[in-house]
Amino acid sequence: MHTPSIPLQPITPSTQTLDAYVDRYLTIVDSRYNIPSFSPDSSPTNTHTERLSEDSILSSDGELENDNGTTPNMMRKAYYDPVMENDDDQDLHHNSYKEQEDEEQERLVNDMDDLNSHDGSSTDKKVMLNSVCQEEETVGELTDAIVISLSQEYGRRWLCFLFLAVLLISWLTWTIIVNNMNPGQTDGAFTLTDRETHNILMRSLNDEKDQVILDSADLLLAHGPLAISHYTLSKDSQYMMLWTNKTDVWRYSSLANIYVYDRDNKLLFPLVNTSTVEKEPKVSYATWSPIGHQIAYVMNNNLYVTDLHAHSQITFDGSATIFNGIPDWVYEEEILNDNYALWWSPDATHLAYLRLDETDVPELHLPIYTTDNDSYPDEISLRYPKAGAANPLASLFVYSLEQKTTMMLTSNSTSTPTVTAEKGHRDFDDIDRIITDVHWATDSHTHLLFKQTNRIQDKQFTNLLTITDANGTASPHGKPSASVGTVHDYIPTDGGWIDSGKTMIFFGQYLNSDGTWQVDYIDVAADGNGFMHLAMISVGKQTTQVRWLTSGDWEVESESVTVDRKRELLHFLSTERSPLERHLYTLSLSDDDPAATRTCLTCPDDPDTHAYYRVSFSPLAGYYVLYYDGPEIPTTRVKKVDDPSFEVYLQKNEPLQKLLLKYELPGKRMVNIKSGSSDMNAVELLPPNFDAKEKYPVLFQIYGGPGSQMVTYEFQLDWHTFLASKLQYIVVTVDGRGTGFRGRNYRVGVRGRLGELETIDYTNAARHWAGLDYVDQARISIWGWSYGGFLTSKCIEANSGLFSAGLAVAPVTDWRFYDSIYTERYMLTPQLNPQGYVSSAVNNMTGFANSKFLLVHGTADDNVHFQNTATLVDKLTKASIHSYKVQFYTDSDHLINHNNANANLYHLLTDFLWERTFGQLGDFQVLSVLETTDSGTSP
């Protein structure tokens, strides 16, 4: 840390001043000051490596936003809980921390849009995509405006508020869309919006010349200009799809009206005549074909294809319970993590799609109380499979656009596959099947790979569809027939679950001399030693060979892999240097020993220098955006694969670096502690001017879900920074057993007994800190959201005497109440593991009598249902426990953000901590570490 230049002055907060601190913090993070405008019109996504592909924010089609409506690459933290990193498994964080980030970003974008529109209309919004020459000026203006605003209104500049605001604005100001406008064009073009004319431009990274690809004057309709949320270009660049009236459904899904713009003729027309701007949005998903300009889209849960002249309906059974080409709630949330379930073949002649039948899935009703002008509550209904209940039935189909025929690849209770089963082929029954990954393994349409697991996700089959011509040879020509076979099966030997995800990537396809094909693809899989590594898998006629490309006691991030087939290079992020770091590696697939060519592109020479990177590659993999995320101030730059000297900085955060010289920050210390025979990574956030001779209160911030990670070298500022800087808390974050990126042995021990080992580990962590001289062991608290709320409740239940207070937000309290796919992955079914479900539930109320406890939930939480909190309150009531407080937020979902609920929540958390830790407000003298030297008295 730099030498502090701001003196410490004691103040005595009252209820009013404490609320003012939190208000100021929330207000500035919310960006609600009148600052110079940049209005992002426009999730993912939040993977550590965002591969630039169709329909992502960094897509070859130049979208302004992700399909869930959030601006990408924003500041990852504000006053929400930190986002954990997902280690292959679908953990509850995407149902808490990740969704907090997504919702936070969306809310901030909406707030800024409201401020920055010229006349308040959505059609007059500016766009955040600036040119490089505009960036420094814009960030400087924003910084100056915030400092002036703070000085004038408050007479104080509080570090965590100002720091968060400037960081947020710096990251909001810049994002890049590196895209391939046409496969025949040079890689490394991106799109941006002219801030004066609102025209959409294409610019090359090489010459920075602009080409107008859409004139805003062409978007005028009878009612006025078309307000678009994002757009995509066809692969031939002749047309654009424009999204408007977008309405969110669940986390990733939405409905919208879509228009098509003909660039050559400057014509604007609706994709579907029944889904226009003046009508309710009906289109769930739409995507361009990989060549030409056909569109596959889903409307009313049926799949359609159009060449922009005629429309063909592919499915006809779509209904409230039958989904074609899009996921239902649980597949969206736990399997696909996206809003689509259809895949074009590379030659645009075939479409693979999932059909999900949730007819037998029990229905959940969520009451909505704050309906307008209605004396009765409304309700939202969804099919939600809880642990042990019926799952949606998943079937995989392939439709041939040329033959107008559909092939069924998997069986169900009423139909059998319409393809031939090869010798040794294996398939799960439809009630026991989860389809986890679908990927075309061809340059045409000859081969399709798909993975399926059983219900409890401890068996996996990888299957290959082969489409053949009339002569019996796999070919893109001729009347097709098809066969499907199992090319790989996997059953973990460690008693754990399958680490599934979208991990397969096609590499090559070769015709052998005997007329048979060999298909090579790359996957991230368990290597037999308990670590996730890269493998080249070669599939021939009834043979499968696996060649490991990486190995060691470290792991490859499963969604970080990019294959450059032209250069025969493989890029990926890994934890090779440390589980707490991420670095970019590349290896050559043309070498006889690819593993020997592995090179780190971001590793510093000094082993004591730490770094955490993310990366996004362009569609042709010639360029990548490199995000340095910590531990120092983040930066963003563009690099070129063929020219290591090429470097264009998108964000250096120089104004922020200068600003920080004036302020003090909490110290951050990485430690490793023991829990029995296991060790745990932890990070300790220390108040500025920490004095080891003093006694400090401690707050444990926990999540702990299977495969998650919170302790990293990422640069993070959030509500915990406020607690450390303003309230002199030590904030401790720990990753115990079950968390990710330390190998399967560290993860899978929690299977069948969620909450048991984690509670032991977090209790041991608290015992460790309680024994430190600078910790006041009578003032140790614990808090968490979602899975973190579950573990907070379990730690209070354990009655260790270590935690004086617990704060649980939207917790699971009984795993019978959570969704089947997530829960059964880690707990099996209630029928198979009845005692495990009893033990993992929060049942023993004794510990709650000996600690202060805050329980918070949104009544419209579609993810972790309010039932969890209601049931726990009933148990507390029966046990005559009185030392707890309950706060519900009307009509808020898992993010708790309806009608100002989120700001209210953080006031509540702060007040609860203060009162439970120090007694009545105003009783504790706290040092103000964030005041300027020329400030007056404290507010």
> Which pLDDT does position 805 carry in this prediction?
96
User: Interior CA angle at 101 toward 99 and 103, to 5°?
Assistant: 65
Q: Go through the chain and tell me how many residues it has.
A: 939
The pLDDT of residue 773 is above 50:
yes
User: Average pLDDT, stretch 763-790?
Assistant: 98
**DSSP 8-state assignment for residue 414:** S
User: Interior CA angle at 396 toward 435 and 318, to 5°?
Assistant: 110
Distance between CA atoms of 167 and 300, rounded to whole angstroms? 42
- Contact yes or no for 78/166 (Cβ under 8 A): no
User: Average pLDDT, stretch 365-371?
Assistant: 93
User: Average pLDDT, stretch 655-671?
Assistant: 86
> Which pLDDT does position 206 carry in this prediction?
78
Angle between helix 132-154 and helix 159-173 axes, rounded to 10 deg: 160
Residue 707 zone, left/alpha/beta (φ > 0; ψ -120 to 50; rest): left
Residue 348 CA to chain centroid, in angstroms? 29
- β-pairing, 283-288 vs 311-313, is unpaired
- Contact yes or no for 362/388 (Cβ under 8 A): no
Contacts 24+ apart (CB under 8 A), 571-577: 571/615, 571/617, 571/621, 571/624, 572/49, 572/534, 573/48, 573/49, 573/613, 573/614, 573/615, 574/550, 575/741, 576/552, 576/600, 577/603, 577/607
147, 317, 326, 405 from 323: Cα distances, Å: 51, 8, 6, 19
Task: Please tell me whether residue 910 adopts helix, strand or coil conformation.
Answer: helix
Query: Counting beta carbons within 10 angstroms of the beta carbon of residue 68, is it exposed (0 to 12), middle (13 to 18) or buried (19 or more)?
Result: buried
- Taking only the tens place, the pLDDT of each residue in 461-474 is 999 999 986 444 55
Active site residue 894: yes
The pLDDT of residue 516 is above 90:
no
> Which pLDDT does position 19 carry in this prediction?
55
User: Average pLDDT, stretch 19-45?
Assistant: 37
User: Average pLDDT, stretch 772-783?
Assistant: 97
The pLDDT of residue 874 is above 70:
yes
Closest CA to 850 of 874, 870, 876: 876
411, 421, 498, 528, 707 from 454: Cα distances, Å: 14, 19, 10, 20, 20
DSSP string, 531-559: -EEEEEEEEETTEEEEEES--SSS-B-TT
666: Cβ contacts below 8 Å, ≥ 6 apart: 685, 686, 687, 688, 721, 724, 725, 731
Question: Where are the alpha helices (H) located in 559-671, listed in sequence order?
Answer: 654-660
In the numeric block, the tokens 């309709």 are attached to 221
Distance between CA atoms of 819 and 787, rounded to whole angstroms? 13
State in Å, rounded, how far the first CA of the chain is from the last one. Answer: 28
Active site residue 786: yes
- Contact yes or no for 251/333 (Cβ under 8 A): yes
The DSSP H or E segment spanning 172 is: helix 159-173
E-strand stretches of 568-712: 569-574, 583-588, 599-600, 612-617, 623-630, 635-640, 643-651, 667-675, 678-686, 696-701
- CA torsion sign for 340, 342, 343, 344 is negative
What are the two backbone dihedrals, phi and then psi, of residue 89, each rounded to the nearest 5 degrees? -85, 155
User: Average pLDDT, stretch 778-784?
Assistant: 97
User: Average pLDDT, stretch 844-850?
Assistant: 97
- Taking only the tens place, the pLDDT of each residue in 163-194 is 454 444 444 433 344 443 343 355 888 888 88
Count CA atoms within 13 Å of residue 446 on its CB side: 21
Task: Encode 612-633: b = buried (16+ Cβ within 10 Å), e = exposed.
Answer: bbbbbbbbbbbbbbbbbbbbeb
Omega within 30 of 0 (cis) for the link into 579 = no
Distance between CA atoms of 552 and 872, rounded to whole angstroms? 44
pLDDT band at 517 (very low <50, low <70, confident <90, very high): confident
Architecture of domain 9-36+658-928: 3-Layer(aba) Sandwich (3.40)
- Average pLDDT of the chain to the nearest whole number: 81
- Taking only the tens place, the pLDDT of each residue in 256-311 is 999 999 999 999 999 999 888 888 999 999 999 999 999 999 999 999 999 999 99
User: Average pLDDT, stretch 189-213?
Assistant: 86
The pLDDT of residue 81 is above 80:
no
Distance between CA atoms of 881 and 875, rounded to whole angstroms? 9
Structure tokens at 559: 């969604």
Angle between helix 97-116 and helix 159-173 axes, rounded to 10 deg: 80
Catalytic residue among 43, 59, 675, 786: 786
The pLDDT of residue 327 is above 60:
yes
Catalytic residue among 55, 861, 862, 891: 861
Closest CA to 700 of 628, 802, 631: 802
Query: Counting beta carbons within 10 angstroms of the beta carbon of residue 679, is it exposed (0 to 12), middle (13 to 18) or buried (19 or more)?
Result: middle
The pLDDT of residue 652 is above 80:
yes
- Taking only the tens place, the pLDDT of each residue in 94-149 is 343 344 444 333 333 333 333 333 333 333 322 222 222 233 333 333 333 323 33
Which pTM was predicted?
0.83
> Which pLDDT does position 498 carry in this prediction?
96
pLDDT band at 479 (very low <50, low <70, confident <90, very high): low
200-209, 505-514, 856-865: which has the minimum mean pLDDT? 200-209
DSSP string, 915-930: HHHHSSTTSS-EEE-S
Percentage above 90 pLDDT, the chain: 65
> Which pLDDT does position 224 carry in this prediction?
85
The pLDDT of residue 782 is above 80:
yes
Beta bridge partners of 613: 628
Secondary structure (H, E, C), 311-379: EEECCCCCCCCEEECCCCHHHHHHHHCCCCCEEECCCCCEEEEEEEECCCCCEEEEEECCCCCCCCCEE
78, 585, 639 from 602: Cα distances, Å: 27, 8, 12
Report which residue type is found at 414. T
CB-CB neighbours of 53 under 10 Å: 13
Distance between CA atoms of 204 and 194, rounded to whole angstroms? 15
Distance between CA atoms of 143 and 475, rounded to whole angstroms? 60
Structure tokens at 589: 């697939």
Catalytic residue among 350, 720, 768, 894: 894
**DSSP 8-state assignment for residue 754:** T
What are the two backbone dihedrals, phi and then psi, of residue 846, each rounded to the nearest 5 degrees? -60, -45
Q: Which of 32-41, 235-244, 839-848, 930-939 has the highest mean pLDDT?
A: 839-848
Closest CA to 711 of 750, 679, 675, 739: 739
- Contact yes or no for 581/610 (Cβ under 8 A): yes
User: Average pLDDT, stretch 474-501?
Assistant: 84
Closest CA to 57 of 274, 229, 273: 229
Query: Counting beta carbons within 10 angstroms of the beta carbon of residue 651, is it exposed (0 to 12), middle (13 to 18) or buried (19 or more)?
Result: buried
539: Cβ contacts below 8 Å, ≥ 6 apart: 464, 487, 518, 519, 520, 521
